[in-house]
Copies of this chain bind each other. A is one copy, B any other.
Amino acid sequence: MVTTQAETALWDSPYRADCPTRRILDRIGDRWTVLIVVSLWDGTARFSELRRRIEGISQKMLTQTLRGLERDGLVQRTVHTEVPIRVEYTLTEAGRTLCEPLRALQEWAVAHLGDVSASQEAYDRADRPSPDFTDRDRNPATA
């Protein structure tokens, strides 16, 4: 895919709306995609099992996200036409490769959550010129 140089393609184009990074980001940028992919890391899982694992995800979102992942070729869906129907989901090879950067991100999260939380508290404690967000607020409890 890279025409000129790897470096350039990687760091110059991302700011344009039609670049690969943007497209992928839009796909995996939702709340559930990453969680699902990561939770499929250790193997196959059934629909209801995923639903229990992810915790907080609705049936609609789980279905929707899984469909998206299947469409992207990151997850394989296998239907077992038995008495109570059984559907299993597995990561494809591509899906498995995606897990690596995702794990890196996860490790970062675990390693830096403390700092982030501390920074947030410090930020919120400081009296800022106009801390009164009216529109879209990150911490509604403060008001």
Contacts and interface: CB of A to CB of B under 8 A. Distances in A.
Interface of A: 1-2, 9-11, 14-17, 20-27, 29-31, 34-35, 38-39, 41-42, 53-56, 64, 68, 70-74, 94, 97-98, 100-116, 118-120, 123-124, 136, 138
Decide if the interface of chain A is mainly helix, strand, loop or mixed.
helix
Copies of chain A in the complex? 2
Contacts of A124: 71
A135 B38 CA distance: 26
Contact of A24 (B2, B41, B54, B113): B113
Nearest to A53: B15
A124 B73 CA distance: 12
Contacts of A106: 10, 14, 21
Given A25-B31, A35-B14, A94 B120 contact: no
A64 B16 CA distance: 20
Contacts of A68: 138
B29 A71 contact: no
Contacts of A24: 105, 108-109, 112-113, 116
B109 A23 contact: yes
B119 A23 contact: no
Contacts of A17: 55-56
Contact of A20 (B98, B109, B136): B109
A108 B97 contact: yes
